[in-house]
Amino acid sequence: MALGEFELIARYFANASAGRRDVVLGVGDDAALVRVPAGFELVAATDTLVADVHFPAGTPVESIGYRALAVNLSDFAAMGATPAWFTLALTLPEAVENWLERFSAGLLELAARHEVALVGGDTTAGPLTVTVQLLGYAFAGRAIRRSGASPGELICVSGTVGDAAAGLASLRGRLVIDANPDRDALQRRFLFPDARVQLGMDLQGIASAAIDVSDGLAADLAKLLAASGVGARIELDKLPLSDALRRSVPRAEALRHALHGGEDYELCFTVPGAYFPSLAREATVPVAAIGVIESAPGLRGVDSGRVIELSPAGFDHFQR
């Protein structure tokens, strides 16, 4: 390695405390010490990005750093939890300064925006793999789980779904989108997803269950349904599709990306119907009601009055 391990850590990762005063001891010792506020539970989430599996060759390096944290922030959003600190386990083929600069810029810019502190990690040589563990807190007993949905409640989705999958297909050269700015907009949804952290926190005490959409709306909703022991019916016409996606692909393909594409990092959650109007009015992100929880297990889609059984098939690392 051109750059020594300690120099590398000192230069790119040692000064990212985001001004937090609850970091007792950050990067530099054998372990980090942080202060969890009284009355709150510690929340932990981990996600790993592997080169070629989670991002295509040629992905901008800033995006690799950004996404490593964003996917964890999205898990926190789905719990309604407050993110505070994170660790970074970085495995690199070689220490290239320009690469590290861009990687840490993408990562630390997002960290600063969400005021989360990098408090430690590990740096090793090997095939490019990035693991972030995000730590934070939720008021005791108030984190939102996947298991709380009841029959009759509305199923909601934030933002728009399907964009990231279309953007990724375009980055991989499997989908040709001629028109800009649509192509850039869809690719950006994959490269720089917005984790819905504020919405998640605002849903505490309102949503009965929540999950973030990483593997695809159908697959992730199916997980929420299974955890809650219920089923659902969604109306395909109500899926929130962006104008960019509608302009770029035929309707059937837009629906396929929306249901089975993944990488959206939107929130899918359930609420009692009476809460929906004020939520839709006040939420910091657009929220669409797409269906209803039913007691019969399974996921059904209604398209032009026709009911079809929806396959939950999303992305599964061990079934490809």
* Interaction site with ligand ADP (CB under 6 A): 9, 13, 27-30, 88, 90, 118, 120-123
CA-based radius of gyration for the chain:
20
- List the structure tokens of 280: 């839709």
Shortest Å, Cβ 29 to ligand ADP: 5
Residue-wise DSSP of 196-208:
-HHHHHHTTTT-S
Q: Choose the one of Mg ion, ligand ADP, none that binds residue 66, judging by a C-beta under 5 to 8 angstroms depending on kind.
A: none
- As a whole number of angstroms, the longest Cα–Cα distance in the chain is 63
Contact present, 190 and 167 (Cβ < 8 Å): yes
Shortest Å, Cβ 213 to ligand ADP: 28
Using CA atoms, how far apart are residues 122 and 128, in angstroms rounded to an integer?
A: 13
Among 122, 237, 243, 316, binds Mg ion (CB under 5 A): 122
Shortest Å, Cβ 79 to ligand ADP: 24
The arrangement of strands across the sheet holding 298-303 comes to 209-212, 267-271, 154-158, 287-294, 231-235, 298-303, 306-309
Contact present, 162 and 39 (Cβ < 8 Å): no
Nearer of residues 25 and 179 to ligand ADP, judged by Cβ? 25
Determine the interface stretch with Mg ion among 102-110, 121-129, 181-189, 258-266 (rule: CB under 5 A): 121-129
Shortest Å, Cβ 226 to ligand ADP: 36
Contact present, 192 and 313 (Cβ < 8 Å): no
Nearer of residues 118 and 217 to ligand ADP, judged by Cβ? 118
State which residue has the least CB distance to Mg ion: 122
Nearer of residues 9 and 73 to Mg ion, judged by Cβ? 9
Q: Choose the one of ligand ADP, Mg ion, none that binds residue 123, judging by a C-beta under 5 to 8 angstroms depending on kind.
A: ligand ADP
Using CA atoms, how far apart are residues 198 and 239, in angstroms rounded to an integer?
A: 22
Q: Choose the one of Mg ion, ligand ADP, none that binds residue 94, judging by a C-beta under 5 to 8 angstroms depending on kind.
A: none
Q: Which residues of the shown chain bind Mg ion in the complex (CB under 5 A)?
A: 122
